[in-house]
Structure formats: C-alpha cells, structure tokens
Amino acid sequence: FVGVGSDEAIDLLMRIFCQPAQDEILITPPTYGMYKVCAKVNDVAINSVPLTESFDLQVPEMLAAVSDRTKLLFICSPGNPTCKAIPLADVEKIASATEQYQGLVVVDEAYVDFS
C-alpha cells in the first residue's frame, strides 16, 4: 500500500471492509484518535475494550466483545499515547482465535520509530 500516511490507510480500511450503519470496529483506549474519527465519518459503530492500567491488551475481554458486526480490530503498537509495544504473543492470540473473530486484525505500527 502506498498512501499519504496512516490516516488514509485507516479510512480506506473502513470504507472497504465496513458497511455504514451496520458494522463496527474494536479499539483499545487510550489509543490513536483517528480510529474514532474515521469510524464517525464512515458511520461505523465503535466498540471499546480499554487497556489495563499498565497499558496491556485485555485479550479475553476483546475476544468476548467482538461480534459478527466487528470487521476491524485495531491494535496500536507502540501505543499512541502510551508508547507501549504490544507483545507479539498477544497479537497472535487474537489473530489465531478464528472461532471467535473472523474479521481483520490491524496492527498499526506507525509509531514504531518512536518506541
């Protein structure tokens, strides 16, 4: 993909994979604010599972929160504004849980150079 930055990629993912007023994304606040902005622009619902106090993913809670409507699951690593890298093992747990979630797992590494 060649684009003008991660904001464009986020918007295009929602335009391609989400039906307005039908589908949803899952985010893990605190996280990059553009996920919410693009979801609102594209009329896509937002499902949130907050990070822990130490800014870790709550993998079981995330998998419990997804539904057939969840088309994109965003993982920001390193996090913005947390600066914490998400362990690959957590990403693999989510990506391999195909019985619970069949949507796309988007690992946003836009801030990798700052971690």
Query: For all residues of the chain together, what is the average pLDDT?
Result: 95
Sequence letter at residue 88: L
Per-residue pLDDT at 1 exceeds 70 = no
Q: How far apart are CA 69 and CA 77, in angstroms?
A: 24
Bridge pairing between strands 70-76 and 45-48: unpaired
Per-residue pLDDT at 87 exceeds 80 = yes
**For the chain, what percent of residues have pLDDT higher than 70?**
97
> Dihedral (C-alpha) 60, 112, 102, 71: value to the nearest 10 degrees?
100
Residue 71 near residue 24 (C-beta atoms within 8 A): yes
From first CA to last CA, the distance across the chain in angstroms is: 23
Per-residue pLDDT at 26 exceeds 70 = yes
Claim: this prediction has a pTM higher than 0.85: yes
CA 4 to chain centre: 20
